[in-house]
Amino acid sequence: MLIIFDVEGVLLNAEYLPVLAQVFGPQKEKEIWDITKQGIRGDINWEEGLIKRVHALRGIKYEDAKKIGENLEIMPGAKELCLSLKKAGWKMIAVSGGFTIITDRLKQELGLDIIFSNELIFKDGLLDDIDLKVTSDKSLHVRPILEKWNVKKEEIVVVVDGANDLKLFDLATYTVGFCPVDVVKKMADEVIEIRNLLLLKDLLEKRFGKSILHRSENYLKDCQLRS
């Protein structure tokens, strides 16, 4: 089995850019939050909104950006869930419209196999621009891995919160909206409304059977051969 997570609002209990905007004060924070919410709801072009937000925060020091990123709260229940999935031999992928400055630590802390994300560009130690690698069609970045690992659709679960994540639903047999916006709520197979990712464990056991989180050794060997 394989699970695909969004990051901000799912694996992390925060949206990075609005938190980063606090460096400039409440007015800038509100500006960034407004654009962020529009992007999550799908009200604006997601790529244009992301670039606009980053450009609005130009001049932030790298040290501040890094410290804030490293201190974003991991979603309650995420560590316990990922540990359980890892022990059961699941593969775990995260796809983020966010940045390596917040996602790099998750690979180790949560045991993820692969993380896709964008990169902030700093010049002379100050935020300047963005290297946009992950677009609103996040499925484009995952499909080659699924082909390489020979993972079938019925083996895939997707967990997201925003409208920009919806194309990931095409990859999976089981989709979960985690504290999602309305459009995701309507399209997901299941919805979790409480910010505790460990609640997903019960849904997975209900959908696939309790043994799905306890069949470790043979499946793990199979995944290692695929990779």
Say which CATH number the domain at 57 has.
Answer: 1.10.150
12: helix, coil or strand? strand
Q: What is the CATH number of the domain that holds 172?
A: 3.40.50.1000
Do both 123 and 178 map to the same domain?
yes
- Of 39, 55, 70, the residue that ends a domain is 70
Residue 214 has pLDDT above 80, yes or no: no
What burial class does residue 154 get, using C-beta atoms within 10 Å of its C-beta: 0-12 exposed, 13-18 middle, 19+ buried?
exposed
Could you tell me if 176 and 159 are in contact, meaning their C-beta atoms sit under 8 angstroms apart? yes
Do both 86 and 185 map to the same domain?
yes
Do both 78 and 35 map to the same domain?
no
Specify the number of domains making up the chain.
2
Do both 87 and 163 map to the same domain?
yes
What pLDDT was estimated at residue 210? 74
Do both 32 and 93 map to the same domain?
no
Do both 196 and 84 map to the same domain?
yes
Instruction: Read off φ and ψ for residue 96, nearest 5 degrees.
Output: -125, 140
pLDDT tier at 211, thresholds 50, 70, 90: low
Mean pLDDT, to the nearest integer, of 24-32?
93
What pLDDT was estimated at residue 215? 53
- Of 54, 70, 86, the residue that ends a domain is 70
Q: How far apart are CA 111 and CA 122, in angstroms?
A: 28
Which strands, in side-by-side order, build the sheet including 174-178? 126-131, 114-123, 91-99, 2-5, 156-160, 174-178, 190-192
What pLDDT was estimated at residue 216? 43
Do both 45 and 139 map to the same domain?
no
107: helix, coil or strand? helix
**Tens digits of per-residue pLDDT, 40-81?**
888 888 899 999 999 999 999 999 999 999 999 999 999 999
Q: What is the mean pLDDT of the chain?
A: 91
Do both 144 and 56 map to the same domain?
no
**Tens digits of per-residue pLDDT, 128-153?**
999 999 998 999 999 999 999 999 99
What pLDDT was estimated at residue 227? 43
Residue 223 has pLDDT above 70, yes or no: no
Do both 157 and 123 map to the same domain?
yes
Task: Give the domain range for residue 182.
Answer: 2-13+74-226
Residue 217 has pLDDT above 50, yes or no: no
Residue 218 has pLDDT above 90, yes or no: no
Do both 7 and 30 map to the same domain?
no
What pLDDT was estimated at residue 226? 46
Considering the entire predicted model, what is its pTM?
Answer: 0.89
**Tens digits of per-residue pLDDT, 80-112?**
999 999 999 999 999 999 999 999 999 989 999
Do both 39 and 96 map to the same domain?
no
Do both 81 and 104 map to the same domain?
yes
What pLDDT was estimated at residue 220? 43
